[in-house]
Amino acid sequence: MAEKRILVTGAVGQIGSELTMELRRRFGNDRVVATGRKTKPSKELEESGPFHFIDVSKIETVAKIVKEYDVGTIYHLAAILSAVGENNPVLAWQVNVGGLFNCLEVAREYGCALFTPSSIGAFGPTTPLDHTPQVTIQRPTSMYGVTKVSGELLCDYYHTRFGVDTRGLRYPGIISNVTLPGGGTTDYAVEIYYEAIKHGRYTCFLKEGTRLDMMYMPDAVEGAIQLMEADPGKLRHRNAYNVTAMSFAPEDIAAEIAKHVPGFTMDYDVDPVRQSIADSWPNSMDDSAAREDWGWNPKYDLAAMTEDMLKVLGERHARGEF
Ligand code: AKB
């Protein structure tokens, strides 16, 4: 019998574009079906394996692909990020909750395993903000957070009630150099590298002292695949695991960049919407449950990530890509 295929939704997005290519490298190009909603995929993504446009808020479009390709695992990444969600709460609910609900229903019907990211956004101002425990108060104040908590509950429900193999990670801010993030609160930590290379300076929309958990993309991709490959018997949590790799404030990342970009400077022009979202999120999470249950062990800290980001983006800039 042919091996079941893997479906990635949101494959054109920040995480999806890199996760899809890594899944294709590991499991074979033809085994990984990439999907997006509107944005044109890169040439590499489109030509290395199957690609389709679907709309996760229309269940029949998800079911059709799952049936046609005999999908066994869904990486459901299509989502609206926190700042965009705050500007358009209705859209955030429809995509983040409606889309996940549809994917869970399809997973139930066709017997698929399902990965979906939760976020540090699933926490709120009444959560302990330092060493945030795996199981704790979750009363977020952003619409994004409301959709993430709802999604975690749905994953728990589908696992307990229907036996769907649901797995998830509470991602922190993800820093990457292939596809830009689309409207999150932690985006400053990506933009700062592009601006450092282009202009040697950056204006930050979060204020000094705003500490948040962060992670470099190679660890984010590895974590998702590692969790999906983990022994199901070892997984104590089916909603989402806390995972982090580093925690820093804007001035820390600026200081690290300045070690490589002489004369680099940063000033601040605070965006009140994103600042208030960031203030409601943890400073640093406790990810010991992920370490114990399935061996989470990120490789990149701030120094190693900064070195790699500046090298990769420096090469892209020299090629005239931005
Ligand atoms: C966002 O800032 O919205 C995301 C997240 C932390 O979930 N990057």
Considering only CA atoms, give the Rg of the chain: 19
Q: What is the pTM of this model?
A: 0.98
pLDDT for 141 beyond 70: yes
- Which of the listed residues 96, 144, 243, 279 should we mutate to test ligand 1's pocket, taking the one with most ligand atoms within 8 A of CB? 144
Phi-psi region of 246 (alpha: psi -120 to 50; beta: other; left: phi over 0): beta
168 Cα to the center of ligand 1, angstroms: 15
Quote the tokens at residue 200: 């040697």
User: Would you state the pLDDT for residue 1?
Assistant: 62
Tell the CATH superfamily of the 5-173+215-242 domain.
Answer: NAD(P)-binding Rossmann-like Domain (3.40.50.720)
Percent of the chain with pLDDT over 70: 100
Question: Can you tell me the distance from the alpha carbon of 121 to that of 281, in angstroms, rounded to the nearest whole number?
Answer: 6
Q: Please report the pLDDT score of residue 256 as a whole number.
A: 98
Domain with CATH 3.40.50.720 in the chain: 5-173+215-242
Taking the CA of residue 185 as reference, the ligand 1 atom at the shortest distance is 2
Assess contact for 165 and 232: CB atoms under 8 A: yes
Regarding the beta carbon of 223 and ligand 1, being less than 6 Å apart is answered: no
Catalytic positions are 144
* Span 235-281, pLDDT tens digits: 999 999 999 999 999 999 999 999 999 999 999 999 999 999 999 99
Q: Which atom of ligand 1 is nearest to the CA of 120?
A: 6
Q: Give the pair of three-digit tokens for residue 37.
A: 């909603």
**C-beta 121 within 6 A of ligand 1:** yes
Ligand 1: centre distance to CA 81 (Å): 6
Mutate to test the pocket of ligand 1, among 96, 120, 242 (most ligand atoms within 8 A of CB): 120
2 confidence band (pLDDT: 50, 70, 90) = confident
CATH classification code of 175-214+245-282+300-318:
3.90.25
The pLDDT, as a whole number, for residue 204 is 98
Tens digit of each residue's pLDDT (9 = 90 or more) over 199-219: 999 999 999 999 999 999 999
Where in the chain is CATH 3.90.25? 175-214+245-282+300-318
- For 30-60, the pLDDT digits (tens) are 999 999 999 999 999 999 999 999 999 999 9
Find the 69 Cα to ligand 1 centroid distance in Å: 31
pLDDT tens-digit series, residues 54-88: 999 999 999 999 999 999 999 999 999 999 999 99
CA distance 318 to 194: 12
Tell me phi and psi for residue 2, to 5 degrees: -65, 150
Q: Average per-residue pLDDT in the chain?
A: 97
Q: Using CA atoms, how far apart are residues 134 and 120, in angstroms rounded to an integer?
A: 11
Q: What is the dihedral of CA 274, 280, 283, 284, to 10 degrees?
A: -110
Distance from residue 104's CA to the centre of ligand 1 (Å): 22
- Both tokens of 159, joined, read 């696992």
* Residue of minimum CA distance from atom 4 in ligand 1: 184
- Please give the number of the atom of ligand 1 that sits closest to the Cα of 83: 3
Number of residues in the chain: 322
Pairing relationship of beta strands 212-216 and 246-248 according to DSSP bridges:
antiparallel
